[in-house]
Amino acid sequence: MSDDAPTTVIDARGLQCPMPLVRASQAAKKLSAGEWLRVLATDRGSVPDFRAWIDGRAEYELLAQDEEQGDDGRTVYVHHVKRV
């Protein structure tokens, strides 16, 4: 994972498919090459959704997908997407 802070953080916690991906896609279009975004989602389906979205897209790279424990005890799925 990059040591630099993300250009944008998308808080999509509580949103169901496809909204985390929709919000990420909208934000990613505004990124310049080398910039990246961090997306927070509680929808488990976002994990395969992000993999499928990145697959075959030369302009983006899925840097990492992590899981964190949210303050409310829910699992937060964290997606790191970079514009190449």
Count of Cβ atoms closer than 10 Å to residue 81 Cβ: 27
- Measured distance CA(84)–CA(67) in Å, rounded: 24
Q: What is the pTM of this model?
A: 0.93
Q: What is the pLDDT of residues 2-56, one digit of tens each?
A: 568 999 999 999 999 999 999 999 999 999 999 999 999 999 999 999 999 999 8
17 tagged catalytic: yes
- Cα–Cα distance, 63 to 66 (Å, whole number): 10
Catalytic-labelled residue, pool 17, 19, 54, 62? 17
Domains belonging to the chain, first-starting first, are 14-79 (3.30.110)
